[in-house]
Amino acid sequence: MKTIEFLVNLFYLYLFFGVVFAAMFLWRGAAKIDEAARGISWKTRALLFPGSVALWPVLWRKWLNAVRKMNTATTNETL
């Protein structure tokens, strides 16, 4: 019984982080990964929200890589 409670709590924790991440990602990060995501409507963001919640570790990694590429490009341009 304790194992099931642990797994359910782990699922809730994953879901919590997914909801927080999805809100931030759809507000700021989607445009950094894909240029076509700039200026999307709130209806489109609402459709993308469940997928962002479920796949937040993958999208987080992509977002971090996109930010790193932008920082590297900016650093190279200033040199």
Kindly give the confidence (pLDDT) of every residue in the chain, 79 residues in length, as a single tens digit, with 9 standing for 90 and above: 899 999 999 999 999 999 999 999 999 889 888 888 888 899 999 999 999 999 999 999 999 999 898 888 777 666 6
Give me the pLDDT at residue 73, please: 75
Give me the pLDDT at residue 77, please: 67
What is the tally of structural domains in the chain? 1
Residue-number span of the structural domain to which 63 is assigned: 2-78
Give me the pLDDT at residue 78, please: 66
Predicted TM-score of the model (pTM): 0.81
How far apart (Å, rounded) are the C-alpha atoms in residues 64 and 60?
A: 6
How far apart (Å, rounded) are the C-alpha atoms in residues 5 and 2?
A: 5
- Of 63, 65, 50, 48, the closest CA to residue 18 belongs to 50
Token pair of 74, please? 């900016």
Give the H/E segment covering residue 2. helix 2-24
